[in-house]
Structures are given as C-alpha cells and as structure tokens.
Amino acid sequence: MTLDQKRWVIVALAAVFLLSLVFVQWMEIVRRAEEAGISEARHPVPSSSQDCVSCHTQVSTGIIQHWETSRHAEAGVGCVECHRAEQTDADAHTHYGNVIATIVTPKDCGECHVTEAAEFEGSHHAAGGNILASLDNFLAETVEGFRGSFNPHSPTPGRGEMAVNGMASAASGCQQCHGSKIALESTDGGLITVDDLQPDADGRPTNLEAVGRILRGPEGRPVLASSTWPNTGIGRLNLDGSRGSCSACHSRHDFSPRRARQPENCGKCHLGPDHPQKEIFEESKHGVAYRDLRDELELDGDTWVLGVDYAQAPTCATCHMSGHSRNGGKITHDPGERISWTNRPPVSLVMDTDIEGHIVTETDLATRQELIADSAQNKRNRMRAVCQHCHTPNYVDAFYEQYDDLVILYNEKFAKPGQKIIAALREQQLLTPTEFDEEIEFTWFYLWHHEGRRARHGASMMAPDYTHWHGMFEVAERFYMELIPQARHLAEGAGARGAEVERVIDEILARPEHAWFEEGAEAQAEAIREAMRERYGDRS
C-alpha cells in the first residue's frame, strides 16, 4: 500500500469514527429526552415480533405505540408471545408465517402469569358470564330486546338493513361488562361456541365436526361473530374453555399497572343505578383523599405495596386486591378474598364459601361448619389487615358493626318481607310465571337491585348519601308507597288467594318496625318536633 493510499484509508476511517460519535450524540439526546419525560423509553422489538411491529406500525400505529410503553415490551414479550396459537386451536390461523389467534384468553396469559390466572379463575369476576342465563339478561334479551331478529316496521332513511338484531342491548350492554360467549360463524349460518367445540383441558377442541364447520375468511382466518366480539367482559366465555378476559382490567396493549390501580378502571362497570361503587367511593373520605393525593400515590411504581410504597389514600385495588405490608405484599386477583358480605342478591348473604367458592346457605350449624372452606370472618380479617394500615383495630371493628347493622336492617325490614310478599303472590298465582310483565315485578326489582344495593354498598364503603338518600330512603318509599299498595291491589278481589296474600302483608306490617305505617306514629313525631323546638326555637 502506498503512503497516499494509507492516507485515504485514514481519512475514511476518521470519517467513520466521527460518524460513530454523531451516533453517540444522538443516543445521548434520546436518553436525555426519555429522562426528562419528553419522549417515551423505547425498547428493542423481540425478533419474533419484528415483522408484526414493522407492518402494524403502518396499519394500526396505536397498538404498537401502546405496546412500546408496556412492561411486556420492556421484558421482551412481543406480539407473537401472547397471540401464538396451535394449529389445532379453533380460532387459529396462519398470519404471515405465524400461527396466531386474535383473542388472547386467560389461559394464554396464564402461561406466564400462573398464580394470577389461577386466582382469577377462582374469583367471582371469572363467573361474570353466568349472567348470560340469569334474570338480568332476560331484561336485555326479552324485555329490552328480542331473542333473535325481526323486521323493522318502517324504513330508516339511509339504512338498508332489513333485520333488527334483538340481542343488541345484551351485546352492547350486559355483555361488555359481564362477558360474551365468544362465537365463530359457521358455514351453515349458525354460531359455534365453546359448547360446540367441547375443548379439552389444554383448550383444544375435541368436537372436530364443529371445527370443520368454522367459516373462514381471507388467510383461512376464522370469522368471529360480531355479536360476541369485540368484547373484554370480565367473565367472557372463551373458545378454549377458559373464562374471563385479563384485558378487562389490564387494557391492551400497554397493560398498564398504573391504570389498573385507579378507580376509573373499575368504574367501567362498577357504577350506575344498580351498583354505583365508583360513585360511592368518590363520595367517601377515601375517594376525597384519593382525588387530592393521587399524584403522591406512586401509581407508576414497579411495586405498589400499601404501607411500603404509599399510604396516602386507597383506591379500589388497594383494599380489594393489592399487596400490603401486613401480608408480605401479596396481591390477589380474586377480589372476593376480602369481602365478608355479598350484597348482590335481594337478601345479603354472609360470605362463608365452600371448597368451590360457592356461598354456603346451609342453616344447620354443624353441617355448615363442615362445608365452609373459607369463612366470612377470614375474609373480613384479610380486609381488616388492609384497614389497619390507617385505622386502629377498635375503629375498624366499630365500622364493621355499623356496616353489619345496616345490612341486617335492610335484610330484615325490607328485603326478606319484600321477598315474602312476592313469593306469596307467586304461590297464590296472582303473578304470571313471566318476569317483568307486571308493575310489581319492576317495583321489587328496583327495590333490591337498585336502591337496596345502593344502601348496602353505600354503607360498605362509607358513603352516607348513598346509604341514606339514594339508598334506604328510596327503599322505604318503594316498599311502603309502591310494593305494599301494588301487592294489595293484586290481592283485591282475588278471593281466598288474595286473602292469603293480605294475611302475609298484614303480618309484616304488624311487626314493631312497620307498625308506624298503619297505626301511625304521632307520639314519636311530636317528640321529634318538641326536640326541634328546644334546639332551634319556634320558627314556624
């Protein structure tokens, strides 16, 4: 090599070196921007998902951007790791060389998150899909809608469809929280669900005849029935036999722990007239503290242990699910583990549960004790351990007495009597077997399902206005002003059958707690007026 050639080689090498320093400078700028929070930290894309990311960056940018900020991206978990499927899965298809499925089920998440998936599977959340065969769903599917489709009775300008989907309210309403029964479209025009596929323990379908009927679109992709998907209901009935949807709380594709820790996340479903837990929380001192101090709660922390990482205010997750300093930071994905009453049914039940997690309703004390696998007291003790991070044991015990008293008052004064009156009407055949076709059925439903729950939930989470005005006040008004008169009205002129109902009502109203209603309570009212005069003077 001549000297001149050497010089040129050196010039070229020097240029490359300078270029590398420019690259270093660029990396430093990116790092500083990330540190200053101006840009999100970027993580290398796992090689398995390079193709997915490069294509979906173009066609669905948001998915990729969400994923890039996720813990999954940080840990090298890409698209394929979660969407991977076996060729034999009912919803599997080959997508640019990878066998994948659109829906990621708890069975898939459980491949890595074993404990979380197992806890969730045993929770009431996972059983949310049971509503699909319940009274509530009768409302959506029959009262509000129609079990099937029907023809419109006049045209809608601009819309060409001829059939009305009678299940629309159920699909867009109930099922979005409770979960749908995921269905694939069949070549014969029907739907194929988990019931047809009969999956084995690994989630693989055993009924190959049903698999053969699956309607397939481009790429051989099985067609998901739009009446059942998209859906992230918490008790979704999946094709692989698993129940639930992890993304109900851990929204895809960033799976943000921060979001799952906030009450707004639960508030997608736990709100409204029938179970306004989120509004109740907001009214409570807990919610007030949360609103004020949320910036100090370390919501972004890698760990989020009450008493270790934060203690300023609780969220739903804090009390019902999160780890705390007294339980070694152990999180549970079964929110029922710390709940001692179920206020879901008309009459609240003590949460003594059997080995399968079902509530023990046995009344014989000895048999009951044998059946109980996890007592309500155990559950309460778990919650008390959370409470005691901020409250003394005496304070917590006294709170639970107040809460128990309210639930029992509601149960004994209104719920059980109401249930007894409705039962008497049915027994005497003064109601049709069909639900919700008579006014009193709506009245009773409002009483326990809406107002009764509001009162009980209000007491459970320290929201006085929900306990009283939105709760017990409306329960009482509904009971005395609607349920009793409507029941008496149905009994009138019904002869002996009506007399039996009247007897039940009279027996209830003769009880000391109801006596004021028919006997009057003038002496009591006068005593109150006198006390008012003493305190505030005569302002009339």
Partner 1 sequence: MNAFSAVGSWITERLPVSAADLRELTNEPVPNHLKRWWFALGGTPAYLFVVQIVTGILLAVYYQPSPTTAYESVEYITTQLPYGWYLRSVHKWAATLMIAAVILHQMRVYFTGAYRKPREINWIVGMLMLICTLTLGFTGYSLVYEQLSYWGATVGANIAGQVPLVGGLMRDMLLGGDGYNPRTLPRFFILHAAVLPVVLILLIVLHIAIIRLQGVTKFEFEDERAEPGESPPSRRTFDFFPDHMLTELAIGLVLMVMLSFLATLWPATMGPRADPLVTPDVIKPEWFFYVSFRWLKLFSGLTAVLSMGFVVFVMFAWPFIDEQIRRRTRFTEASVWIGICGVFAIIALTVWEAVVAH
Provide the binding-site residues for partner 1, judged by CB under 8 A. Answer: 1, 3, 6-7, 9-10, 13-14, 16-17, 20-21, 23-24, 27-28, 31-32, 35
We find the least distance from the C-beta atom of residue 325 to partner 1, in angstroms, to be 21
We find the least distance from the C-beta atom of residue 19 to partner 1, in angstroms, to be 9
CB 258 within 8 A of CB 196: no
Closer by beta carbon to partner 1, 14 or else 527: 14
Closer by beta carbon to partner 1, 32 or else 216: 32
Between β-strands 98-100 and 149-150, what pairing exists: parallel, antiparallel or unpaired? unpaired
Amino acid type, 134: S
Instruction: Note the Cα 372 to chain centre separation in Å.
Output: 26
We find the least distance from the C-beta atom of residue 287 to partner 1, in angstroms, to be 37
373 closest CA partner among 355, 359, 360, 356: 355
Backbone angles phi, psi at 359, to 5 degrees: -70, 135
Give CA–CA dist 180/168, Å, rounded.
Answer: 12
Closer by beta carbon to partner 1, 33 or else 525: 33
We find the least distance from the C-beta atom of residue 29 to partner 1, in angstroms, to be 10
We find the least distance from the C-beta atom of residue 4 to partner 1, in angstroms, to be 10
Backbone angles phi, psi at 118, to 5 degrees: -65, -45
Between β-strands 349-350 and 341-342, what pairing exists: parallel, antiparallel or unpaired? antiparallel
CB 263 within 8 A of CB 281: yes
DSSP string, 199-239: B-TTS-BS-HHHHHTB-B-GGGPBPBPTTT-S---TT-B-T
CB 73 within 8 A of CB 86: no
We find the least distance from the C-beta atom of residue 207 to partner 1, in angstroms, to be 43
We find the least distance from the C-beta atom of residue 228 to partner 1, in angstroms, to be 45
Q: Where are the alpha helices (DSSP H) in 203-348?
A: 208-212, 257-260, 263-266, 277-283, 285-293, 316-320
Closer by beta carbon to partner 1, 15 or else 398: 15
We find the least distance from the C-beta atom of residue 114 to partner 1, in angstroms, to be 20
We find the least distance from the C-beta atom of residue 26 to partner 1, in angstroms, to be 9
The encoded tokens of residue 186 equal 């069949």
Closer by beta carbon to partner 1, 16 or else 496: 16
Neighbours of 300 (CB within 10 A): 10
264 closest CA partner among 294, 235, 244: 294
Give CA–CA dist 172/230, Å, rounded.
Answer: 10
Closer by beta carbon to partner 1, 18 or else 531: 18
359 closest CA partner among 375, 335, 338: 375
Residues in the chain: 540
Closer by beta carbon to partner 1, 17 or else 395: 17
Closer by beta carbon to partner 1, 21 or else 531: 21
Closer by beta carbon to partner 1, 35 or else 397: 35
266 closest CA partner among 242, 285, 290: 290
We find the least distance from the C-beta atom of residue 462 to partner 1, in angstroms, to be 42
The encoded tokens of residue 511 equal 């009880």
Backbone angles phi, psi at 190, to 5 degrees: -90, -165
Closer by beta carbon to partner 1, 24 or else 135: 24
CB 90 within 8 A of CB 197: yes
Q: Which residues contact 497 (CB under 8 A, 6 or more apart)?
A: 428, 429, 430, 491
We find the least distance from the C-beta atom of residue 43 to partner 1, in angstroms, to be 13
Q: Evaluate the CA torsion angle 325, 326, 332, 335 in order and state its sign.
A: negative
Closer by beta carbon to partner 1, 24 or else 528: 24
Closer by beta carbon to partner 1, 23 or else 469: 23
105 closest CA partner among 247, 230, 227, 279: 247
We find the least distance from the C-beta atom of residue 65 to partner 1, in angstroms, to be 24
Closer by beta carbon to partner 1, 6 or else 42: 6
We find the least distance from the C-beta atom of residue 387 to partner 1, in angstroms, to be 33
